[in-house]
A and B are shown apart, each in its own frame.
Chain A
């Protein structure tokens, strides 16, 4: 899985104000489908490999893959 695009959100909607700044990304899964999720840990850039860390409330949380 890899990052198609990403952004760090500084100005968050009401429900997520306490979590800002946080990074979100559109991730291309291995089957070619795409999903919007959160990034945990170090910031990622376009084309970085990521892995699924967990799913919370239907939202996938990814982290940068080791290599």
Chain B
């Protein structure tokens, strides 16, 4: 396998855009990305699209060539990847694999979701289709309910407190306020987070990521050609995609995500680093408890201690391991299919030193974790300055 670099990125703001459709969002991110990577549409050899539920949200299927056409890149392989909330990360993984294997040189990866044209109950139903619709979802579960049950068990087994969950939300909101591309740029207090409207006990609205529209894109090339396109290539030191049991009630222990642990072990080995070497991370905080569990599964905090680690300030921008300096899914927003690609964009911006007010003091080795469903898919990526 040959080393692969990210040579360009582009994204739309995440938020509520009633007058934008799915294609225009994806095309905006893709065009910005091509421009950023100094690549013309005709140089792109393959197009990988992450999208969770365009057909359900928008009634439009066959999305990859639909968006490729909008970008003026016709005639090449254009493929959509769906892995629930890990759709973007999955598209990125397969794009990397193709470039690493020498099949293509210049590959465009985009992620997109257009969610806000539906009512909240309908959104809940579409998102629920990423779970077991013949089992847990038929019983009346939602994604917030599945993660609420994880939170309850984590609190029971490890003494994680409601305040620890709130600390994740307070931090990510504070971070998002510094991100011009974030959906919600609003600082909140721990009291507000604790008093939020209940969604699924013990989770309130402040524990849940946002329903957002948005798109993100990155360009990949072999590291040896990266200098043709950019002065600041960012090397993909490792990327691993894994899977696990589908339904939550099929798992032995719901307070950990084996898919994340497996992907992390592979990625650390491939990159030749360990959790202590990682300088900053973008973690999949679809719910506050998910960031806490990810801290443990990735080896940043001891088992059961992710909540305390957060409450002690370890994941603040000034802490030893800044997490979600972008605001995360909680504040930046969670346009499902765009999320995994958006995380890569935010890691790249940090490593390039282009993160503006979000810029972290240590920013040379970053990790992204993208989770699908209640843990049935995971992608872990480690990136460093080339």
Contacts of A16 in B (CB 8 A): 140
- B332-368 Cβ-contact flags toward A at 8 Å (1 or 0): 0000000000000000000000000000000000000
**Which secondary structure dominates where chain A touches chain B?**
strand
Range of interface residues on B (Cβ < 8 Å):
35 or more
A20 to B148, CA, bound (A): 16
A35 to B249, CA, bound (A): 6
Task: Check A12–B139 contact: CB distance below 8 A.
Answer: no
- A15-28 Cβ-contact flags toward B at 8 Å (1 or 0): 11101011011100
Tell me the chain A residues, 1-33 only, with Cβ under 8 Å from chain B.
4-17, 19, 21-22, 24-26
Contacts of A38 in B (CB 8 A): 139-140
Task: Check B250–A9 contact: CB distance below 8 A.
Answer: no
Task: Check B152–A22 contact: CB distance below 8 A.
Answer: no
Residue of B nearest to A46 (CB): B156
Number of A-B pairs, beta carbon distance below 8 Å: 95
Task: Check B254–A13 contact: CB distance below 8 A.
Answer: no
Q: Chain A: residues with CB nearer than 8 A to chain B?
A: 4-17, 19, 21-22, 24-26, 34-38, 46, 57-60
A34 to B137, CA, bound (A): 15
Task: Check A17–B121 contact: CB distance below 8 A.
Answer: yes
Task: Check A10–B200 contact: CB distance below 8 A.
Answer: yes
Residue of A nearest to B254 (CB): A5
> B136 near A: Cβ within 8 Å?
yes
Residue of B nearest to A27 (CB): B249
Task: Check A24–B199 contact: CB distance below 8 A.
Answer: no
Contacts of A59 in B (CB 8 A): 138-140
Residue of A nearest to B247 (CB): A36
Contacts of A25 in B (CB 8 A): 149
A38 to B198, CA, bound (A): 19
Task: Check A15–B125 contact: CB distance below 8 A.
Answer: yes
Residue of A nearest to B155 (CB): A46
Known: A5-B149, A26-B149. A13 touches B199 (CB 8 A): no
Known: A11-B200, A36-B139. A5 touches B121 (CB 8 A): no
A12 to B134, CA, bound (A): 17
Residue of B nearest to A17 (CB): B121
A36 to B247, CA, bound (A): 10
Nearest Cβ in chain B — how far from A26, in angstroms? 5
A10 to B138, CA, bound (A): 16
User: Among A10, A36, A58, which residue has its beta carbon within 8 angstroms of that of B199?
Assistant: A10
Task: Check B140–A24 contact: CB distance below 8 A.
Answer: yes
A8 to B141, CA, bound (A): 10
Known: A12-B121, A13-B128, A34-B249. A24 touches B150 (CB 8 A): no
Known: A4-B153, A10-B198. A36 touches B122 (CB 8 A): no
Known contacts A8-B198, A37-B139; 8 additional CB pairs below 8 A are A5-B152, A5-B153, A5-B254, A10-B200, A26-B248, A34-B249, A57-B138, A59-B139
What are 22 A-B contacts with C-beta separation under 8 Å? A5-B149, A7-B148, A7-B201, A9-B200, A10-B197, A10-B199, A10-B200, A11-B120, A11-B200, A12-B142, A13-B142, A14-B121, A26-B248, A36-B248, A36-B249, A38-B139, A38-B140, A46-B152, A46-B153, A58-B134, A58-B138, A59-B139
Tell me the chain B residues, 146-171 only, with Cβ under 8 Å from chain A.
148-150, 152-153, 156
Contacts of A4 in B (CB 8 A): 153, 254
Nearest Cβ in chain B — how far from A42, in angstroms? 15
Contacts of B124 in A (CB 8 A): 11-14
Nearest Cβ in chain B — how far from A27, in angstroms? 9
Task: Check B125–A13 contact: CB distance below 8 A.
Answer: yes
Nearest Cβ in chain B — how far from A14, in angstroms? 4
